[in-house]
C-alpha cells in the first residue's frame, strides 16, 4: 500500500533518529532493517558486505527465515546490471514476479530467491561497490511511487553510509592487525624513531620483548630506550648515510651491532622514510646473527688452527729427515768405529750409543705409525678389566731397572684398589709417555705417579708430577697439539702427547696439564671406573 506523505515523513524521521543514536552500528542496522520491513511490508531484510578479501557475504538479516538467503556471492553480470540501473535512475531497484519482467530482472529475483525485491548498493570513497542493502518478498503487490522510491533511496543511502563507515573502520583495524601480525611474525626486530628528535615511534613485539615490553619505549629517545650509558645521539648513528644533500632518503644502510646487555649480535638495516604524520622517520630492522657470528668465530678459530697445524706439519716434515738421519748417522758412524776399535771399553761405549739411537729411531717410527692409524681411525684397542694398583706397580718395574735416570720415579704410597675396563697397552703408552717427558726435563727432585677417585664424576684421575724446569704459561695449552715439542733441543717427534690425548679420549676420559716455570709440571688424565 502506498504511504501518504505524513506517515512517510514520520517514518523517515524515526529512521534517521535511529541512525544518529548511540547504539552500536550492528544494532542500528538490524533495527533499521526490521523497521523498514514493518513499514513497507517486506518479509525479509538483509545486508551483504565485502571485507576487501572475500566476495560479498551475508552480514545482517531481519524478518522471516523460512527462505534463507545465499551466504555469499560474487559480482556477476546480473548483479552488475542491477548496480548500473540504480546508478542511472538514482533510485533503488524494485521488481516483482507479478510484473512483466525482463530477463535481467528475472535473473536478479532468482539470484536472491525472492518473489519481489528492493535493493540498493553502497560504495566506498573510491566508488567501488562494497555491499548491498535489500528487502525481499513484499506482502502486498502494490508498486512504489517514484517519490517513495526516491525517499527510500535517500533513507537507504543514509544507512549505507553508516555501514560504509563501519566497513572502513573494520578494514582499518584488519589492515592494522594484519600489518602488526606481519611485523610481529617476520622473525626480525623492528623499531622506528623520529629522524630529527629521535623520539621512539614504534617497536614490534620481538624488539620490545628483551626490554620488558612496549612500555619500555614510550616517551623515550632511541638512545635512552636502547642504552643505559648514553646521554645523547650515538656516535655511530647511521642518519648521515640515509639522506642525500637535499634531505631525501637514499638507499638502505646496513651494519653489524652487538646488543650491550646480552652481547647478542644483530645485522641491522636502516632506512629513512615518511611516517604516517608526514615527518621523516628512521626505521631500523635487525636480524639475529648471533649463531652465525659464533659459527664464523668457530670457523676463524678452526681456520687459524688448521693453518697453524699445516705450518707445524710442514715444519715437522722438513725436520723429520733430520730427526731420522741423526740416529741413523750415529748408528752407521759408531758401527764403523766399532769395527775398527779393538778396545773393549770403547767398543762397549759405541754399542750403548748405537742402542740408544736405535731406540730413539724405533720411537720415531712408532709415533708416526700411531699418528697415521689415528688419522685413519684404525688404531687398535684390546679392552679388558684391569686392577689399577697392579698396573701402576708394573709400570714402576720398568723404571726400577733403569739405572741412568736422573731422578727417582716413585709410586705414591697407600693407593687403594680400583678396577677399570681399558686397554692395558694403550694405558701404559700414556703413563710412560708422561714419565719419559718428565725425565727429559727434571734434573733434581723426583717424579711421582699417583691416582685418586674424583667424587664429582666418579672417575679415576691419574697424574705424573715432576720437579723439573716447568712449561711457560702460554705453552701449556698447546702441549697436546700435534708436532709441538716442549723444547726444540729435546729428542722426539712432538707427537707423543697428541697421541696420548687421542688414546685418553677414546677410552672415555679427559687430559690436561698444569705447570709453573722453575717449579715443575703435573700431567693428568681421567678414566672411567668399572661398574
Tens of pLDDT along the chain (531 residues) come to 456 777 778 888 888 888 888 888 888 889 999 999 888 889 999 999 887 677 888 988 998 767 778 888 888 888 888 888 888 888 898 988 776 677 777 888 888 888 889 999 988 878 888 889 999 999 887 888 888 888 888 889 888 888 888 777 777 777 677 777 777 777 788 888 888 888 988 888 888 888 888 888 888 988 888 888 888 888 788 888 888 878 788 888 888 888 887 888 888 888 888 887 778 888 888 888 888 888 888 999 989 888 887 877 776 666 666 667 777 888 888 888 888 888 888 888 888 888 878 887 887 788 778 877 887 788 889 999 999 999 999 999 988 887 778 899 999 999 999 999 999 999 999 999 999 999 989 999 999 999 999 988 889 999 999 999 999 888 888 888 876 766 654 566 677 898 999 999 999 999 999 999 999 999 999 999 986
CB 424 within 8 A of CB 384: yes
CB neighbour class for 454 (10 Å; exposed up to 12, middle 13-18, buried from 19): exposed
Looking at the fold, whether 17 and 163 belong to one and the same domain comes out as yes
- Does residue 398 sit in helix, strand or coil? helix
What CA–CA distance (Å, rounded) separates 252 from 263? Answer: 25
Residues 78 and 210 in one domain: no
421 lies in the same domain as 459: yes
Domain count, the chain: 4
Q: Show the domain range for 308.
A: 296-376
What backbone phi and psi angles, to 5 degrees, belong to 133?
-110, 130
- 458 Cβ contact list (under 8 Å, min separation 6): 529
* CATH code of the domain containing 128: 3.30.450.40
Residue 383 pLDDT? 94
**Rounded-to-integer distance, Cα 445 and Cα 447, Å:** 7
My answer on whether 221 and 153 are in the same domain is: no
Domain C-terminal end among 359, 376, 393: 376
Tell which of 352, 376, 400 closes a domain.
376
What CATH number is attached to the domain comprising 434? 3.30.565.10
| pLDDT for the residue 493 | 61
Would you say residue 54 lies in a domain? yes
Q: Are residues 499 and 457 in the same domain?
A: yes
Gyration radius (Cα) of the chain, Å = 47
Q: How do residues 244-298 score in pLDDT, each as one tens digit?
A: 878 788 888 888 888 887 888 888 888 888 887 778 888 888 888 888 888 888 9
Backbone angle region of 148, left / alpha / beta, with phi > 0 → left and psi within -120 to 50 → alpha: alpha
Distance of CA 75 to the CA centre of its chain: 46
Same domain, 217 and 311: no
Give dist(CA 412, CA 431) in Å, integer: 14
* CA–CA distances in Å: residue 437 to residues 119, 353, 461: 102, 20, 19
Answer yes or no: is 184 within a domain: no
What is the C-alpha separation between 161 and 164, in angstroms, rounded? Answer: 5
DSSP symbol at 173:
H
Residue 228 has φ and ψ, to the nearest 5°, of -105, -15
CB distance 45 to 31 below 8 Å: no
Quote the Cα angle for 258-262-268, to 5°: 30
Domain endpoint, select from 376, 410, 433: 376
Q: Is 403 exposed, middle or buried (0-12, 13-18, 19+ CB in 10 A)?
A: exposed
Is the Cα torsion angle 75, 81, 85, 87 positive or negative in sign?
positive
State whether 170 and 227 are in the same domain.
no
Strands 447-454 and 409-411: parallel
Q: Measured between alpha carbons, how far is 288 from 188 in angstroms, rounded to an integer?
A: 7
The SS3 assignment for 366 reads: helix
Closest CA to 94 of 117, 68, 110: 117
> What whole-number distance in Å separates Cα of residue 513 and Cα of residue 374?
22
- Do residues 246 and 264 share a domain? yes
Q: Is residue 342 in some structural domain?
A: yes
Name which of 277, 289, 276, 270 is nearest 191 in CA terms. 270
Nearest one of 244, 275, 245, 240 to 255, comparing CA atoms = 240
Strand order in the sheet with 42-49: 72-73, 56-63, 42-49, 129-138, 116-123, 93-96
Q: How far apart are CA 396 and CA 398, in angstroms?
A: 5
Amino acid at each position: 500500500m502506498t504511504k501518504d506523505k505524513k506517515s512517510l515523513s514520520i517514518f523517515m524521521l524515526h529512521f534517521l533518529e535511529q541512525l544518529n543514536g548511540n547504539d552500536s552500528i550492528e544494532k542500528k542496522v538490524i533495527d533499521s532493517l526490521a523497521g523498514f520491513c514493518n513499514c513497507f511490508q517486506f518479509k525479509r531484510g538483509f545486508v551483504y558486505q565485502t571485507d576487501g578479501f572475500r566476495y560479498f557475504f551475508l552480514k545482517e538479516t531481519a524478518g522471516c527465515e523460512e527462505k534463507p538467503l545465499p551466504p555469499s556471492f560474487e559480482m556477476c553480470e546480473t548483479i552488475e546490471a542491477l548496480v548500473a540501473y540504480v546508478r542511472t535512475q538514482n533510485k533503488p531497484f524494485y521488481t516483482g514476479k507479478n510484473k512483466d519482467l525482463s530477463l535481467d530482472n528475472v535473473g536478479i529475483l532468482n539470484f536472491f530467491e525472492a518473489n519481489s525485491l528492493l535493493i540498493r548498493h553502497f560504495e566506498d570513497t573510491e566508488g567501488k561497490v562494497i555491499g548491498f542493502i535489500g528487502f525481499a518478498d513484499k506482502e502486498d503487490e502494490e508498486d512504489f511511487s517514484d517519490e517513495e522510491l526516491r525517499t527510500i533511496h535517500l533513507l537507504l543511502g543514509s544507512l549505507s553510509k553508516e555501514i560504509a563507515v563501519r566497513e572502513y573502520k573494520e578494514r582499518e583495524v584488519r589492515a592494522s592487525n594484519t600489518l602488526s601480525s606481519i611485523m610481529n611474525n617476520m622473525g626480525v626486530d623492528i623499531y622506528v624513531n623520529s629522524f630529527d628528535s629521535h623520539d621512539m615511534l614504534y617497536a614490534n613485539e620481538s624488539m620490545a620483548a628483551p626490554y620488558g615490553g612496549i612500555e619500555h619505549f614510550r616517551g623515550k629517545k632511541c638512545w635512552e630506550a636502547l642504552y643505559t650509558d648514553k646521554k645523547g645521539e650515538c656516535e655511530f648513528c647511521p642518519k648521515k648515510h640515509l639522506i642525500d644533500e637535499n634531505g631525501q632518503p637514499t638507499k638502505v644502510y646496513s651494519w653489524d651491532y652487538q646488543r650491550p646487555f646480552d652481547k647478542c649480535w644483530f645485522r641491522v638495516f636502516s632506512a629513512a622514510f615518511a611516517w604516517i604524520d608526514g615527518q621523516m622517520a628512521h626505521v631500523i630492522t635487525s636480524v639475529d646473527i648471533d649463531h652465525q657470528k659464533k659459527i664464523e668465530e668457530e670457523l676463524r678459530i678452526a681456520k687459524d688452527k688448521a693453518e697453524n697445524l699445516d705450518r707445524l706439519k710442514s715444519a715437522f716434515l722438513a725436520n723429520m729427515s733430520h730427526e731420522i738421519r741423526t740416529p741413523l748417522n750415529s748408528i752407521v758412524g759408531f758401527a764403523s768405529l766399532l769395527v775398527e776399535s779393538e778396545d773393549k771399553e770403547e767398543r762397549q761405549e759405541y754399542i750403548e750409543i748405537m742402542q740408544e739411537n736405535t731406540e730413539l729411531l724405533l720411537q720415531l717410527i712408532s709415533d708416526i705409525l700411531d699418528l697415521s692409524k689415528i688419522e685413519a681411525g684404525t688404531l687398535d684397542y684390546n679392552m679388558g678389566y684391569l686392577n689399577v694398583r697392579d698396573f701402576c706397580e708394573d709400570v714402576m718395574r720398568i723404571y726400577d731397572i733403569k739405572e741412568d735416570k736422573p731422578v727417582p720415579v716413585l709410586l705414591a704410597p697407600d693407593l687403594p684398589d680400583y678396577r677399570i675396563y681399558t686397554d692395558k697397552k694403550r694405558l701404559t703408552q700414556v703413563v710412560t709417555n708422561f714419565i719419559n717427558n718428565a725425565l727429559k726435563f727434571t734434573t733434581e727432585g723426583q717424579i711421582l705417579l699417583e691416582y685418586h677417585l674424583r667424587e664429582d664424576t666418579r672417575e679415576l684421575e691419574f697424574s705424573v708430577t715432576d720437579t723439573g724446569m716447568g712449561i711457560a704459561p702460554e705453552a701449556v695449552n698447546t702441549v697436546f697439539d700435534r708436532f709441538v715439542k716442549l723444547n726444540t733441543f729435546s729428542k722426539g717427534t712432538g707427537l707423543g702427547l697428541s697421541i696420548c690425548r687421542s688414546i685418553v679420549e677414546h677410552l672415555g676420559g679427559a687430559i690436561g696439564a698444569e705447570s709453573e716455570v722453575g717449579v715443575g709440571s703435573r700431567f693428568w688424565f681421567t678414566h672411567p671406573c668399572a661398574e
